[in-house]
Amino acid sequence: MKRILFLLTALSASTPLLAADGATLYKRCAACHLPTGAGVPGAYPALSNDFLTLAKKPAGRRYLALVVIKGVSGPITVGGKPFRGVMPAQMLNDADTAAVLNHVGTVVAKGGKGFKAFTEAEVKAARASGAALSAAQIGALHAASGGK
């Protein structure tokens, strides 16, 4: 019995280490969007004000989740600058997708208290509702959900 209790304690103590780490996951995004999220004009959009504006509305949040889940291809206009590239799908599970979006919202785009965290359930719903969409169709959601 003592041994089982010890094992249970050890398991619960190690759970936080297994939880999705948005900062670590963001390293893959930084290869294109840069560590600061500043992006590269004409190639990689900044993860900044447009991200935070989109994150305020349900349609924009669905778009942001789908960009990470399935990728996106333009044309899209972000921060007044045109982009006609392709972002590949990121192959992350729902929890990791939420974690990396939350890292962008809080640390990269510095959304402060106005940023509402993404949940795993929200990402799951976006994945299900957008299953049939192509990267180009996700790009078309950008302007339709208030991105500019």
Binding flag, residue 85, ligand HEC (CB under 6 A):
yes
Pick 10 or 59: Cβ nearer ligand HEC: 59
Please give the angle made by the CA atoms of 128, 22 and 138, to the nearest 5 degrees: 35
Q: Is 147 in the site for ligand HEC (CB under 6 A)?
A: yes
Quote the least distance from Cβ 131 to ligand HEC, whole Å. Answer: 19
Query: Does the footprint of ligand HEC cover residue 102 (CB under 6 A)?
Result: no
Q: Output 7 or 58, the one with its CB closest to ligand HEC.
A: 58
Q: Does 105 bind ligand HEC (CB under 6 A)?
A: no
Binding mask 1-40 for ligand HEC (x = CB under 6 A): ---------------------------xx-xxx-------
Q: Please confirm whether the linkage preceding 45 is cis (ω < 30° from 0).
A: no
Of 83 and 115, the one with the shorter C-beta distance to ligand HEC is 83
Instruction: Please provide the DSSP assignment of the chain as one string.
Output: -HHHHHHHHHHHHHHHHHS--HHHHHHHHHHHH-TTS--BTTTB--SSHHHHHHTTSHHHHHHHHHHHHH-EES-EEETTEEE--EEPP----HHHHHHHHHHIIIIIS--GGGPPPP-HHHHHHHHHHTTT--HHHHHHHHHHTT--
Q: Which residues bind ligand HEC (CB under 6 A)?
A: 28-29, 31-33, 44-45, 47, 50-51, 64, 67-68, 72-74, 76, 78, 83-88, 90, 100, 104, 139, 142, 147
